[in-house]
Amino acid sequence: MYQVIKNHPSSLKLYEQKLLGTSEVMKEDVQRIHDKVNRILNEEFAKSKDYVPNKRDWLSAYWTGFKSPEQISRVRNTGVKPKILKRVGQAITTLPENFKPHRAVKKIFELRAAMIESAQGIDWAVAEALAFATLIVEGNHVRLSGQDVERGTFSHQHAVLHDQETGAKYCPLDHVAMN
Amino acid sequence: MTWFRAASGAARLALRRSLATRTPPAAATRCGRCFHSTAMRPRSAAPVPRAVPLSRLSDSFLDGTSSVYLEELQRTWEADPSSVDESWDNFFRNFVAQASPSAGVSGQTIQESMQLLLLVRAYQVNGHMMAKLDPLGLDDRAVPEDLRLGLYGFTEADLDREFFLGVWRMSGFLSENRPVLTLREILNKLQQAYCGPIGYEYMHIPDRDKCNWLREKIETAKPKEYNKDRRLVMLDRLIWSTQFENFLATKWATAKRFGLEGGETLIPGMKEMFDRAADLGVENIVIGMPHRGRLNVLGNVVRKPLSQIFSEFTGGTRPVEGEDGLYTGTGDVKYHLGTSYDRPTRGGNRIHLSLVANPSHLEAVDPVVIGKTRAKQFYSNDADRTKNMGILIHGDGSFAGQGVVYETLHLSALPNYTTGGTIHIVVNNQVAFTTDPRAGRSSQYCTDVAKALNAPIFHVNGDDLEAVVCVCELAAEWRQTFHSDVVVDLICYRRFGHNEIDEPSFTQPKMYQVIKNHPSSLKLYEQKLLGTGEVMKEDVQRIHDKVNRILNEEFAKSKDYVPNKRDWLSAYWTGFKSPEQISRVRNTGVKPEILKRVGQAITTLPENFKPHRAVKKIFELRAAMIESGQGIDWAVAEALAFATLIVEGNHVRLSGQDVERGTFSHRHAVLHDQETGAKYCPLDHVAMDQNEELFTVSNSSLSEFAVLGFELGYSMENPNSLVLWEAQFGDFANGAQVMFDQFLSSGEAKWLRQTGLVVLLPHGYDGQGPEHSSARLERFLQMSDDNPFVIPEMEPTLRKQIQECNWQVVNVTTPANYFHLLRRQIHREFRKPLIVTAPKNLLRHKDCKSNLSEFDDVEGHLGFDKQGTRFKRLIKDRNDHKQVEEGVNRLILCSGKVYYELDEERKKSERGDVAICRVEQLCPFPYDLIQRELKRYPNAEIVWCQEEPMNMGAYSYISPRLFTAMKALGRGSFEDIKYVGRAPSAATATGFLSVHAQEQSELVKKALQAEPIKFL
């Protein structure tokens, strides 16, 4: 392989020969480009001795305002107004009238609605759903991915419900904010 | 006419491919099989069509054709064949088969012949799209347009016209030997073959002979039928499969068992596959499979005692630990366990079945199975790979989703990894836990990944027992004929949830409405047999009663089941000790004359071989090392270890990315002639008449997971082999992390399976950045199961320390110690995995040399005190140090190459009051040697020095163990262990070379600083 490579012309040499062969390009044209590239490379090489890296050239526009490790980021509250919690909680525990969930799932959602109503006994799945929902009403995007996460490995999330007659799907968290 | 233009394009491609593969006349006349003689022919053989250059075909053959032109051309040709172009002469002759008496069936035109050809091909390519594959009938697949009759210009009116279909050098329906058929008959045959309960995918295979072989099997004149006796056997097996699950469901209603309900035909299918394989010469089958249906396979196929399976359902009976002190490990759930069995077959043969233990990590066992199969082929001299076969059973979601599947498939045809084909069975229950296929994969079938390997794929309706049996037999025949992979896609359903207490209707309501009322495959088959009148109701009931009686008998026995104490070791492992039995420490040195002779063999190249001049120089230097007995470097030490093991009759196999030369251009295990490109392997020539594969070194594919798994499986077959896997750089081992976590570190504890696999992980801080510096030593140490606060019995005659630990982790610093380390793996009565942080700059370090005298088995000679005749778990500082050296005020303990930098700095700063000891074996920890050194330097402060960051390397492993050793001698506590090394870090190493150099310099200087070292 390397015997062949040793004698093999570069793709540049081949293309130069092709263009020269078509007479579209003159030798002087090719040389001019070579000279220009060499000049710029040498200029940049000279500049590299004095190069000073930009301090913060790694943040994209979306990340404007975000702090790096040496900057202090003030600890903020993550609580949500009670009325928002209530309204959002009702939204995520309500199913459409004509939707027929599995009876066990229906019972789960009734229990969840009761948790929201009484404000007591909130379990893990509801807490997670409330976190997602409140972030969404604040305008954030929430994306959850993984094997069997729609129901949850331990049959707990129920983020996607399936109508037992039609097979239609319903996702309560798709209905927490206007539009 | 647009349809014709599209069809013409397909025909052009088909014809070009067909004609291009034709053999020239001279060759054809010597190949008797090329002719298809028939009694109907008036002549002894048909004339052979002449080859025509492709350029002529592409230029004029079909371009610009029209029906009128073609028909006119045909009339001209019929009148005078020589009046048309040679290419057209071949075309007409080939497709109308003028030589045959049946040629030119009334009214059949060239155009119609082409259309028929395209129709047949369409069914061969896409017939599976119309096959009745889903037992639940829920699949709503669009029927490809090219399966519709109208596309080809035929109408209902044509159904009863007769057509001839013969094509030269084609099997199946297009064979010249087939009689004339009506269009209706042709369609019926096509649909019968391709659109019934089996969907065949094979037209992606470019090999014409293979496709013809399959066509011969698929496109039969009559559908395959089984006689009554075969049917009764199949029924019996299906009853066993079904009753087994019913029995477990009744006795342990809430136990998790991952039942096979909905896929019970897998069991009779597998059995028929094994019978057929045995008929065709298979003697050993190695099986890997996941949890779904595993208990059924264990009980009914591999014949694990049913009473044992049942006893495991009652919490699993653990052998009494006090009795004989038997090692029982920590065990595993019942649907992960393996077993083996010698099974009688229908043909009167016996076949050995092994089901390999596996973790929950789906598909992780795949490469282990094929590695074990390959090893079986090596040890039984099965060069044709017809006696030992691997079978892998997969889930549908995991076959499509787990990357290791593709990695394993891509080992299937590599010279040093092939097993001559693996049969893959996908138990396709069409739902992955709670996930529909539409979300689980992008390809149409879960098996599409296998098309990349040109494996034929047989999709089969899991409810049709005879169809399942048919494809299982066909798969076995394919494997024994072509020695390549083949896939059976058994499309079934899961009657219950993912496990028996899981509710599947939450996520698949319509599917489970259908399943609820769907008859079992057994019910369907019983109805079929009763319907044929071949079987009576009483016959069926008799089988049911027999099965029930046996199941209940075994259930009764399970209450008193006592596990065999040592039923887990195969013949090759006879005499090997388990952790509670003492295995005496043996010498690993070799006689000087053997070292010399072997050394000469591995440093000599054939006379006419022309290596690269740099390689030539390397080998001259190596020969000089052997001659003088001095300056042996790492690569030569490794080669000597391999060579000496080989002359003792052991097998050595080294695999990994670029291991033949070595990542660091050091090993040169395979040389390449610079003129001819020929290869030479010195280690293939160390013993008389050496078996070509006794030493195997192989550059692997760029896979860590599958290749490491393969080598693990390989190493488990026979303990008298040194099997090694080397990572390109140590960090890349994490691509195989599942292998370390689920198999290597815990396999013996879970499944009582030993392995002596050696893992070489290049490691060392040279400023090469975060991914090329560290082997993540800390991960392996953290997985060690020795108790850091207990000093085990260390008396050599009573020591079982290594046996009681799950594996060994070493960081070696001299070639001689590496030599003894490798040989120690074999010269013991037990096997343990060995993790070696392998060298980089030590490969060429001027001080990292050993003398040949350190390799031998002679005691008392010069050099003996430097190495002895065994692996040194710890290398003390100087040979001239007395048992007590009160003048030393600092003892530095370290591991790996940092020793050489510390030693260099010590010389430079003239610190004669500092001792440096190298902990070569980190795990299990050499308490006895550490304490010996602590006693030697009673006044020294104790330092652990490493070049890794504090949260990496050996520090967190060493610290509590060193504390335990010190505490026993009254030498202080945790705060008395001083740390010298890099600060904690997220990445293993800095990306800046200058920062690296500064860090390395600072830590070395700090270790040798005059003032006492602070705790941290």
Residue-wise pLDDT for B863-896, tens only, equals: 777 788 889 899 988 667 888 998 998 999 999 9
Residue of B nearest to A2 (CA): B674
Q: Are strands B808-810 and A161-162 parallel, antiparallel or unpaired?
A: unpaired
Indicate if A93 and A163 belong to the same structural domain.
yes
Q: Which pLDDT belongs to residue B629?
A: 94
Check A167 against B506: CB less than 8 A apart.
no
Compute the distance between CA of residue B476 and CA of residue B461 in angstroms, rounded to an integer: 18
**Alpha-carbon gap: A30 to the closest alpha carbon of chain B (Å):** 37
CATH superfamily of B110-219: TPP helical domain (1.10.287.1150)
Q: Which pLDDT belongs to residue B297?
A: 94
| Cis previous bond, B924, omega within 30 | yes
Indicate if A69 and A86 belong to the same structural domain.
no
CB contacts of B514 in chain A (<8 Å) are none
From A74, A98, A125, the end of a domain falls on A74
**Placement of tokens 């705060």 in the chain:** B975
Between B434, B502, B509, which is nearest A150 by CB? B434
**Alpha-carbon gap: A5 to the closest alpha carbon of chain B (Å):** 14
Topology annotation, domain B592-855: Rossmann fold (3.40.50)
Q: Are strands B457-461 and B198-201 parallel, antiparallel or unpaired?
A: antiparallel
Domain boundaries, chain B: 62-97, 110-219, 228-314+330-559, 592-855, 875-1008
Mean pLDDT of chain A, nearest integer: 88
Helix ranges, B718-764 (H): 737-738, 747-751
Percent of chain A with pLDDT over 90: 55
Burial B288-319 (b: 16+ CB within 10 A, else e): bbbbbbbbbbbbbbbebbbbbbbbbbeeeeee
| Residue B236 CB neighbour total at 10 angstroms | 17
Q: Which pLDDT belongs to residue B96?
A: 57
Q: Which pLDDT belongs to residue B35?
A: 31
Indicate if A26 and A106 belong to the same structural domain.
no
Closest CA to B610 of B536, B702, B685, B677: B677
Between B503, B513, B674, which is nearest A104 by CB? B503
Closest CA to B447 of B206, B128, B135, B755: B128
- Is B434 in CB contact (< 8 Å) with chain A? yes
CB contacts of A104 in chain B (<8 Å) are 503, 506
Answer yes or no: are the C-beta atoms of B367 and B406 closer than 8 Å. no
CATH number of B228-314+330-559: 3.40.50.970
**Structurally, how many domains does chain A consist of?**
2
Residue A59 falls inside a structural domain: yes
Residue of A nearest to B512 (CA): A164
Residue of A nearest to B401 (CA): A147
Answer yes or no: are the C-beta atoms of B891 and B934 closer than 8 Å. yes
CB contacts of B362 in chain A (<8 Å) are none
Q: Which pLDDT belongs to residue B13?
A: 39
Interface of A with B (CB under 8 A): 3, 102, 104-105, 147-148, 150-151, 153, 155, 158, 160-165, 167
Q: How far is CA B384 from the centre of its chain?
A: 19
- Residue A55 reports pLDDT greater than 80: no
CB contacts of A144 in chain B (<8 Å) are none
Indicate if A86 and A69 belong to the same structural domain.
no
Closest CA to B375 of B417, B422, B421: B417
Compute the distance between CA of residue B847 and CA of residue B782 in angstroms, rounded to an integer: 31
Write out the residue range of the structural domain in which residue A101 sits: 82-174
Indicate if A68 and A129 belong to the same structural domain.
no
Indicate if A57 and A29 belong to the same structural domain.
yes
Check A102 against B510: CB less than 8 A apart.
no
- Is B510 in CB contact (< 8 Å) with chain A? yes
pLDDT tens-digit readout, B445-500:
999 999 998 999 999 999 999 999 999 999 999 999 999 999 999 999 988 888 87
| Residue B798 CB neighbour total at 10 angstroms | 10
CB contacts of B509 in chain A (<8 Å) are 102, 162-165, 167
Q: Which pLDDT belongs to residue A6?
A: 86
**Alpha-carbon gap: B510 to the closest alpha carbon of chain A (Å):** 6
Residue A179 falls inside a structural domain: no
Check A148 against B434: CB less than 8 A apart.
yes
Q: State both tokens at B645.
A: 């093991």
Indicate if A2 and A49 belong to the same structural domain.
yes
Check A155 against B503: CB less than 8 A apart.
yes
Looking at domain B875-1008, does it have CATH number 3.40.50.300?
no
Q: Which pLDDT belongs to residue B86?
A: 66
Residue A64 falls inside a structural domain: yes
CB contacts of A158 in chain B (<8 Å) are 506
**Alpha-carbon gap: A123 to the closest alpha carbon of chain B (Å):** 20
Indicate if A36 and A92 belong to the same structural domain.
no
From A19, A50, A74, the end of a domain falls on A74
| Residue A117 CB neighbour total at 10 angstroms | 12
Check B510 against A151: CB less than 8 A apart.
no
**Alpha-carbon gap: B366 to the closest alpha carbon of chain A (Å):** 21
Q: Which pLDDT belongs to residue B339?
A: 83
**Alpha-carbon gap: B440 to the closest alpha carbon of chain A (Å):** 9
Give the A:B interface size as CB pairs under 8 Å. Answer: 40
Q: State both tokens at B885.
A: 């050296």
Check A147 against B506: CB less than 8 A apart.
no
Q: Which pLDDT belongs to residue B857?
A: 87
Residues with pLDDT less than 50, chain B: 1-50, 52-65, 98-104, 321-323, 566-568
Return the HEC string of chain A: CHHHHHCCCCHHHHHHHHHHHHCCCCHHHHHHHHHHHHHHHHHHHHHHCCCCCCCCCCCCHHHCCCCCCCCCCCCCCCCCCHHHHHHHHHHHCCCCCCCCCCHHHHHHHHHHHHHHHHCCCCCHHHHHHHHHHHHHHCCCCCCCCCCCCCCCCCCCCCCCEECCCCCCEECHHHCCCCC
